[in-house]
Amino acid sequence: MAPDLTEGLVDVCTRLYQRRLTFSTGGNISVRDGDRVYITPSGRNKGMLKRGDIVTVDMDGRALQGGKPSIETGFHLAIYKMRPEVQAVVHCHPQYCTALAVMGAPMRTGLTPEGVLLLGDVPLVPYGTPGTKDLVRLLASYCVDHDALLMARHGALTMGKDLEEAFNRMEELEFQAHMQFLVGDAEEIPLEERRRILGLP
C-alpha cells in the first residue's frame, strides 16, 4: 500500500465522520494510484478506520490486499475508467443532501459563488439498488459531465483530482443543501454573474 495515499484516505474518512457527512457504516471513499485503487472496507464505521483496514483492488475489482472492499467498488472503478483525471471519489450520506435526494428535489448550487465554482450543475441520479450493476449503469450516464451528484434515496457523490478536492466538494455540497433548506425560494445568482464567476482566475 502507498503510505501517503492510504493515510490520506483514513484522514478524509475521519474528517467526513467528524463533520457529520457520514454516519455509522454508510458511504465509501477511494483514491486511485495508477492501476490500483485503495477503498474503504465493507460494513465498517468510517470514523474508526485505521490504515491497515483499507482494501487494495485492481481496476477489475479484484482484491489485492486487505479484507472485503465496499459493495460499491463497481461504481468507483467505473468512474476511474471513464474519467482518468479523477483520482478520488467520495460517496456518503450527508443529512441535507440525503433529504433532498429522498424528496426528489433539485439541488440549487447557484445560491452562493462557492456553489457555482466548486460544484456546478448537480443532477439527481435515479434510484438504483446499492451494490448492483444497475446503480453502476445509472451513475455512469451522469458522471461524465459532473463532479458532484445526488443519488435518489441514497446520498451524495463527489469526485476530484485528489482526496482534498473530492472532500471539499462533498463539504460544499452539504453546505449548499443546508442553505437550500434555510433560504427557501430565495433567488439564485443571475446567469450572467455565474458566467463571470466561472471566468475568474
pLDDT of residue 1: 65
Beta-bridge mates of residue 32:
37
State how far the alpha carbon of 158 is from the alpha carbons of 2, 86, 144, 150, 196, in Å.
22, 10, 12, 9, 24
CATH fold, domain 3-198, is L-fuculose-1-phosphate Aldolase (3.40.225)
Q: Could you say which of 7, 72, 174, 188 is catalytic? A: 72
**Cell of residue 99, nine digits:** 433529504
Establish whether 72 is a catalytic residue.
yes
Domain boundaries, given as residue ranges, for the chain? 3-198
pLDDT of residue 122: 97
pLDDT of residue 66: 83
Distance in angstroms (rounded) separating the CA atoms of residues 108 and 175: 11
> What proportions of the chain, in percent to the nearest 5, are helix, strand and coil?
45, 20, 40
DSSP letters for 26-44? --EEEEEETTEEEEPBTT-
Spans in the chain with pLDDT lower than 70: 1, 201
pLDDT of residue 22: 93
